[in-house]
Structure 1
Amino acid sequence: MKLGAVIPVYNHGGPVVGVVAALRAHGLPVLLVDDASEPGCAAVLDTLAQQPGVTLERLTVNQGKGGAVIAGLRRAAQLGWTHTLQIDADGQHDTRDVPAFVAAATAAPEHFICGCPIYDASVPKARLYGRYATHIWVWINTLSFTVRDSMCGFRIYPLLAVLRVLDGTSIGRRMDFDIEIAVRLVWAGVKVVNLPTRVRYPEDGVSHFRALRDNVLISAMHTRLFFGMLWRSPLLLWRKVLA
């Protein structure tokens, strides 16, 4: 098992420094994916990439969070990694939980280790309540409660399994990515471990979630997945019988 961290970065030049330092302190190699950030952030990433154990992948055209993660997963395979920890660059994920995620992946290396957020008072209430619509659709589209929170960007993928899914279908490349890849991993028969993890929203945090655009993309994705679930439903239900 060779595990490294993939961080999609788009104009988070300040907080990403602390995220990288924390991950390196846990002994993880880090792959930064610069999603065509502005020059100031790009310069920060260039500096970070000079540190031992830090690699930089640069995209010349902004791909969106999902596109950056996909590029990172493919580069991780080239680096010889077998597992990737995905974490956001803005510091909202608690890196003190990294050892628990690593231990879970080590104990069950073929499983998808999915973060299940524990929020503090900083979470915007609209974002918090809005997540439940997606939770319900994910439970419908997987015919299970296997994935407790598909929107959390703190997770560990078994790389071979996730690349097999990416090679077999087109996946959303923006904020719909985290949700869709979770559903499709379940469809592919990958088992899931849900781990609680602390999440905060920094007061000076920069969010790239665009309410209209991303909600339209997510709604369209749920619709596609629903019809995909219908013809897969006999297999999904049969798995429940065998479980």
Structure 2
Amino acid sequence: MSAPDGADPALAAAGVWLVIPCYRVVDHILTVIARAPPWVEGIVCVDDACPAGSGDFIAANNTDPRVRLLRLAENQGVGGATLAGYEEAARLGGRILVKVDGDDQMDLTYLPQLVAPILLGEADYAKGNRFTSLNHLQSMPGVRVFGNAGLSFLAKVSTGYWNVFDPTNGFTAIEASVARLVAQKKVARRFFFETDLLYHLGTLRAVVRDVPMPARYGDEESNLKITQVVGSFAWRHLRNFVRRVLGQYFVRDFHIATLELVFGASFLAFGGAYALHWIAVREPGQAASAGVVMMAALPVIIGVQLLLQAMNFDVFNVPTRPIHPYLRTLERIEADAEAAQREDA
């Protein structure tokens, strides 16, 4: 296809599609569509069974020929709507799929920076990061700053992506073949979607890159209530951490960190158990001897050191080689094989 006027030919030929989950966004969705750059090939608006009639509103008022409207029979949450949009955009030929919220919080002038790591073959997934500059945080409410900082640390631990921050940022881009692969996994469908997606990308060893961009807030209302999800988020982070460690260091591979985890946890448990046992059986007023102290303290010290070494290994074990070139090649081979079978038939 020829590049639209003023558009970079590389961007115009990249097959960039926007995926916009639509739920109570009738006040902003047309503005979001209008701000899509001319080099964006297509836009999939996903009506997530919106009670405000977002789908009907788009169908009646949209004039952009690039828009494709996808209606879901039942509400599936932001995650379910995004995954359905990925599938539709990829089916229509999209190669780089950009998830954009319909509430006009995301500055689409940063779209080139977001798709560039994937277009250059340096990443499989790119996401916005509002924490790279103090200037970027000026418009973000203080509560959100501290909340996102805490969630970012938990996400580093549970996903293994120690190189990324701001995991709840919903302005993301993913290569289509990677999107098809991750859609086969049990990704959380609602507010934990972005973080859970990172976890599942980690199981695929996909490369993730942060893209600096400022926060932007207007008169939109968030559907997320912090008090309702804090307990659920903490449990999901813990569950993903345990699953990641077991899968990454005991099932799919075996590293020096595996031994450090096993012996570190064993030494720590032994030292702690020994100390508790001595406290339980000691005579009233009896002081611990040097030998007792060393029998408790030394295993704890060794255990903590081994666990810190395992953590250090984990930090440097972040994926660095993108997987989408391999997936694209595999798709071409499978397509050629199917074509050959049809010709033989």
Is TM (by shorter chain) over 0.5?
yes
Give runs of aligned pairs for residues 159-170 of structure 1, distance below 5 A. Answer: 159-167=176-184, 169-170=185-186
Q: Which gives a bigger RCO, structure 1 or 2 (Cα 8 Å, sep 6+)?
A: 1
In the alignment, is residue 121 of structure 1 matched against residue 198 of structure 2?
no
The correspondence for 2:108, drawn from 89, 92, 95, is: 95
Structure with more of its chain in strand, by fraction: 1
* CA gap 1:35/1:240 in 2 versus in 1, 3 angstroms: same
> How many pairs does the alignment contain?
241
Q: 1:161-202 deviations in whole A, cap 9, x for unaligned? A: 1321221x3111111001110122123111122111122111
Judge which range, 11-20 or 225-234, deviates more: 225-234
* CA gap 1:78/1:242 in 2 versus in 1, 3 angstroms: closer
Runs of 4+ residues deviating >4 angstroms:
235-239
Aligned equivalents of 1:27, 1:87: Cα separation in 2: 13
SS of corresponding position for 2:247: helix
Aligned residues: CA RMSD: 2.4
In the alignment, is residue 240 of structure 1 matched against residue 304 of structure 2?
no
In the alignment, is residue 178 of structure 1 matched against residue 176 of structure 2?
no
CA shift, 1:43, in A, is 2.8
Alpha-carbon contact 1:49-1:56 (below 8 Å) kept = no
Gap runs ≥5 in structure 1: none
SS of corresponding position for 2:26: coil
Aligned equivalents of 2:28, 2:87: Cα separation in 1: 25
Alpha-carbon contact 1:8-1:33 (below 8 Å) kept = yes
Aligned equivalents of 1:33, 1:161: Cα separation in 2: 20
Aligned equivalents of 2:191, 2:97: Cα separation in 1: 19
Q: What is residue 66 of structure 2 aligned with on the other side?
A: 53
Q: What is residue 141 of structure 1 aligned with on the other side?
A: 158
Paired-residue identity, %: 25
TM-score (norm 1): 0.88
In the alignment, is residue 231 of structure 1 matched against residue 246 of structure 2?
yes
The correspondence for 1:84, drawn from 55, 72, 97, is: 97
Gap runs ≥5 in structure 2: 1-13, 256-312, 321-345
TM-score (norm 2): 0.64
Q: What is residue 153 of structure 1 aligned with on the other side?
A: 170
Aligned equivalents of 1:60, 1:136: Cα separation in 2: 36
CA shift, 1:112, in A, is 0.9
Q: Aligned letter for 1:206?
A: E
Q: What is residue 36 of structure 1 aligned with on the other side?
A: 49
CA shift, 1:104, in A, is 2.7
* CA gap 1:28/1:101 in 2 versus in 1, 3 angstroms: farther
